[in-house]
Amino acid sequence: MNESFQNITHAAQRKAVEKLIDSALSKVKKDREDSFLKMVDLAEIFLDASVSKKQFDSIRNMIKDPDNRWMNYIDRAIRETDPHVAKMTALNLGFEAAFRGTKMIRKNREKYGCNIPWLILFDPTSACNMHCTGCWSGTYGHKHSLSFEDMDKIVTQGKELGVYLYMLTGGKPVGGCIAGGRNYFHINSAGDAEPCVFIHYSNANIHDSSILEILRSPLFMEYRKGQPFNQNHLRPCPMLENPQILQEMVHRAGAHSTDLESPETVEHLCGKCIDYAKEWAEEADKIWGQKEHKTPKYQNYASR
Ligand code: SF4
């Protein structure tokens, strides 16, 4: 089965993985090792050279280690989750998103010369009458909702590009800047495609643009050209820590404000971050300089 895995259809691949998942879920922890190792063998064939042999071997060692904290976590998740939910999560998040989607995304990034994300966040509606502390819905007005057809379009077109993970509303992403479709982007309840849930500027709307057109829209392409916005990953953001950069990108792109309640110029927005950015820069550079940091294989997708 392994040698021909590359050549068989999506449906047959899914079936093969489903069998391994069924087998892993039906066993107790110590007997699952074999099924997990077979999944890693399949992933190694399917993902070609995009993950190194060393990385696959370290996953195998992790699976064989009975005290590994991740394996204990997976075991607990399997024991405490409804079997159907566990199976569908493994199939959709594991096989479709991480396994198959990643491969399609990498190909499509080169084919279309733009970012293709791993995740799309969208807000089905801002029509919430609650006022929960910390939630943005209460402050974004109550006028906008995406229709079923809008949401169907987002997911159908996203899947064609390899995007298998969708989050309805969301939270603050961590690490370097992953916005602008590099790993994710956001569609608000009026359909505006924003590079990030916190960056309310756009050139494209889902009501008149395809997902691919959104990913190739001027502001998203500015993100692609500019990332990472700072080599110090404690200062990743083009708005918060590098406020000059967002201003330049929005102007070059000719993007407009998509703030649903109080539209503001990019100078006004970024002006509020200048003092913070200056103060944090000194401290962040001191902390960043205390350690050596690995250079990632590639950082800027546009120059690959
Ligand atoms: S660094 Fe800024 S723009 Fe990038 S994902 Fe984080 S909040 Fe959004």
Measured CA to CA, the distance from residue 100 to residue 116 in angstroms comes to 14
Cβ of 239 less than 6 Å from ligand 1: yes
Quote the Cα angle for 171-176-179, to 5°.
55
- CA distance to 188, 197, 205, per residue, from 201 (Å): 11, 10, 11
Is 222:252 a contact under the CB 8 Å cutoff? yes
User: Going by CA atoms, what residue is nearest to atom 6 of ligand 1?
Assistant: 177
Cβ of 177 less than 6 Å from ligand 1: yes
User: Going by CA atoms, what residue is nearest to atom 4 of ligand 1?
Assistant: 177
Q: Which pLDDT tens digit goes with each residue over 236-245?
A: 999 999 999 9
Q: DSSP label at 50?
A: G
**Token reading at 289:** 């300089």
Q: Which pLDDT tens digit goes with each residue over 117-163?
A: 999 999 888 777 667 776 666 666 677 889 999 999 999 999 999 99
For residue 245, which of 215, 225, 217, 275 has the smallest C-alpha distance?
225
Nearest ligand 1 atom to alpha carbon 239:
2
Helices (H), the chain: 10-26, 29-46, 53-64, 69-80, 83-89, 102-112, 148-161, 211-215, 218-226, 243-253, 266-271, 274-288
Mutate to test the pocket of ligand 1, among 178, 222, 223, 270 (most ligand atoms within 8 A of CB): 178
**Token reading at 287:** 């902390």
Q: Which pLDDT tens digit goes with each residue over 7-48?
A: 578 888 888 888 888 888 887 766 788 888 888 888 887 776
pLDDT at site 30? 67
36 CA distance to ligand 1 middle (Å): 35
Is 247:187 a contact under the CB 8 Å cutoff? no
pLDDT of 107 > 50? The answer is: yes
Task: Phi first, then psi: give them for residue 186, nearest 5 degrees.
Answer: -130, 140
Nearest ligand 1 atom to alpha carbon 246:
3
Cβ of 170 less than 6 Å from ligand 1: no
179 CA distance to ligand 1 middle (Å): 6
Cβ of 246 less than 6 Å from ligand 1: no
